[in-house]
Chain A
Amino acid sequence: MAETAKNEEVSDVVPSTAETTAEVEAVLDAPVDRGEPILQVRNLVKHFPLTQGILFKKQIGAVKAVDGVSFDLYKGETLGIVGESGCGKSTVAKLLMTLETATSGEVFYKGQDITKLSGRALKAVRRNIQMVFQDPYTSLNPRMTVGDIIGEPFDIHPEVAPKGDRRKRVQELLDVVGLNPEYINRYPHQFSGGQRQRIGIARGLALNPEVIICDEPVSALDVSVQAQVINLMEKLQNEFELSYVFIAHDLSIVRHISDRVGVMYLGKMAEIGTDSEIYDHPTHPYTQALLSAVPVPDPAAREGRERIILTGDVPSPANPPSGCRFRTRCWKAQDKCAEEVPLLAVPEVFAGKKTLAAHDSACHFAEERDVVHAA
């Protein structure tokens, strides 16, 4: 399965030639124009070994949590990544943050492969790529004051703010995310979920990063609070020219905020494209099924709409199906689907055509099917 990943080309990335730490740091801090790629992910793979035995561990297999994922993130945009629970979204986030070491593949930040960096260069990456976590109740240390939580980035990267300046910077950050700057001596438990998530966002902003990875930043919040937090994130994006990777398990949440959307299934990207390409012209059966389940506000549209109900469970990532990973649940599956892994590319039927359906979709039998609007 991984072998097919190899025939995808990597040549589109111009890797940086920086060698010394200082050169790497210069590359990482170089400015990028709006609309240029800032993060380029190529054939990213993460296998968690399954072991047996306590003292002498024997590998008996691997959970293929992420198995050959490629995408680009452009400066100033939001890329939504959507998929069911367990499809590897958080693992992708951790790989982008270099919190996990990739089994193979590259993550280029401004052309610099960050998967193999260490020491000072890695610290410089941390300044530039930050993360907002899913659960605001566990992502803040309960025994630290808000001032210490938001000020910690400055303790770790003292070059970002001189010591005397930190309290002011922390209070500014609180103000930026819409919290009272007098709250610096409070503890996380004294805040609501939405407020805590704002604290988490302030911490992520402290180092002036260019990219923020948001792993389901609103799924733990009340629906009413979700919109507020998403609006805040959009405001911050415009203000600080941030690029977001916005992970969610549901297409409806990312629709509002994303410029482009990638749909993941079982460790692979099934389909990726702009907002209207994915929502209005999906060509992958999995995306179509997901979209058919999204609630539609317009009752007239709801009437004639067909709902695609997927049968069966998601297969285990330790033992994924051969060929197309979706074939065990796909109503269009044929022999070819079991034999050949469909590549993530513009499907042949649409190649060269001027239609929104001509976007990357990993399906042998990609075709349009309007599932959102009245059939």
Chain B
Amino acid sequence: MPEKTLPHETTVPEAVSTAMKSGAGKPRSLGQDAWRELRGSWLFWSSGVLLVLFIVMAAFPTLFTGVDPRQADLRGHYLAPPNWSHFFEADWFGYNGQGQSVYARTVHGARASIIVGVCVTLAVTVIGGLVGMLAGYFGGWVDALLSRLTDIFFGIPLLLGALTLLQAFTHRTAWTVSLGLATFGWMQIARVMRGAVITQKQADFVTAARALGAGTGRILFRHILPNVIGPVIVVATIALGGYISTEATLSYLGIGLQDPVVSWGVDISAAQSQLRDAPHVLLVPASFLSLTVLAFILLGDAVRDALDPKLR
């Protein structure tokens, strides 16, 4: 093989050597730049702190309360109102219709709700993202097949599909409920992804990468994915709240989590009948749910913005 080199191979131009010495030219990647950007973003930190709080609550509920969420004292505490000044105590947020501490139930309910929300969102993003990416990138019969599959699933309402599937399980946990929801929830992301990939794959920079000899993996994950992930993150984080409330509806219909399991969804559904007499029984778990969803949406926004160099 003949020796073909740039003439500058041996003599490094002055500008290059100064650039190398000054350190100004230390190479960074999009990921590193995004992380630097995130570290300076208040949106990232506030949503991050909230989420860490909820995740610690989900993992170690006993750090927050020593009260058993299932312990019921109907006679003593039936729908007792909150004592807002009794921080972290059993009656902080009052009692529900079974005489159980709303505070204890909300703390213990975080686990199931967050597992369902996060798992379904992750699964849906991975499945929908992959289906959409393959359909959009390869086109042809792959697209025809995957798009028809997406259409078929789109025809089944999320609730109805999950209901039917979950009926097959006699013992339902947060994991089985997640499976049920993920199975019927991935189509929207698949569609968003497919459209975005079809637009991006025609971009000249993709052709340029192909001209350099880049393989399919590199083109999909280095070139197309970073340019389509933004809208997917937005759709996914917004949908997260929807999954937690669908879990609630399923539990309400008696086909979601089963009673000894505590979850925000179970409590929100149970509280609806007593909304007039004791709004706190509904409002407390509902507020926790909203805050969690908000934190995820803000985090998604921060990550999306950090990944867009034009916004820096």
| A interface residue numbers (CB < 8 A to B) | 25-26, 29-31, 54-55, 94, 97, 99, 122-123, 126-127, 130-131, 133-135, 138-145, 147-148, 151-153, 155-157, 167-176, 180-182, 184-185, 187, 189, 200, 203, 205, 207-208, 239-240
How many Å from the CB of B140 to the closest CB on chain A? Answer: 9
For the complex, is B76 an interface residue (Cβ under 8 Å from A)? no
Q: Indicate if the CB atoms of A142 and B27 lie closer than 8 Å.
A: no
Known contacts A130-B211, A156-B218, A176-B8; is A185 also within 8 Å of B28 by CB? Answer: yes
Q: Indicate if the CB atoms of A187 and B309 lie closer than 8 Å.
A: yes
Stretch at the interface among B13-21, B85-93, B174-182: B13-21
Q: Indicate if the CB atoms of A145 and B33 lie closer than 8 Å.
A: yes
Q: Which A-chain residue is minimally distant from B5 (CB atoms)?
A: A208
A interface, over-half SS? helix
Query: Could you give, for residues 210-225 of chain B, a 1 whenever the CB lies within 8 Å of some chain A CB and a 0 otherwise?
Result: 1111100010001100
For the complex, is B4 an interface residue (Cβ under 8 Å from A)? yes
How far apart sit A167 and B218, CA to CA, in the bound complex (Å)?
20
| B interface residue numbers (CB < 8 A to A) | 1-2, 4-8, 12-13, 15-16, 19-20, 22, 24-30, 33, 144, 203-205, 207-214, 218, 222-223, 226-227, 307-310
Q: Indicate if the CB atoms of B208 and A133 lie closer than 8 Å.
A: yes
Q: Indicate if the CB atoms of B25 and A181 lie closer than 8 Å.
A: yes
How far apart sit A239 and B16, CA to CA, in the bound complex (Å)?
18
In the A-B complex, list the 5 residue pairs whose CB atoms are closest, starting with the nearest. A139-B204, A126-B213, A187-B309, A181-B19, A143-B226
How many Å from the CB of B9 to the closest CB on chain A? Answer: 8
Q: Which B-chain residue is minimally distant from A139 (CB atoms)?
A: B204
Q: Indicate if the CB atoms of B2 and A175 lie closer than 8 Å.
A: no
Q: Indicate if the CB atoms of B16 and A168 lie closer than 8 Å.
A: yes
Q: Indicate if the CB atoms of B204 and A156 lie closer than 8 Å.
A: no
Q: Indicate if the CB atoms of B22 and A182 lie closer than 8 Å.
A: yes
How far apart sit A31 and B1, CA to CA, in the bound complex (Å)?
9
Q: Indicate if the CB atoms of A156 and B212 lie closer than 8 Å.
A: yes
Q: Indicate if the CB atoms of B27 and A141 lie closer than 8 Å.
A: no
Q: Indicate if the CB atoms of B309 and A139 lie closer than 8 Å.
A: no
How many Å from the CB of A28 to the closest CB on chain B? Answer: 10
Q: Indicate if the CB atoms of B20 and A148 lie closer than 8 Å.
A: no
20 contacts between A and B (CB under 8 A): A26-B1, A54-B144, A94-B207, A122-B213, A126-B213, A133-B204, A139-B205, A141-B205, A141-B223, A141-B226, A142-B205, A145-B29, A156-B214, A171-B20, A172-B12, A172-B16, A174-B16, A184-B25, A189-B310, A200-B208
Q: Which B-chain residue is minimally distant from A120 (CB atoms)?
A: B213
Q: Indicate if the CB atoms of A143 and B30 lie closer than 8 Å.
A: yes
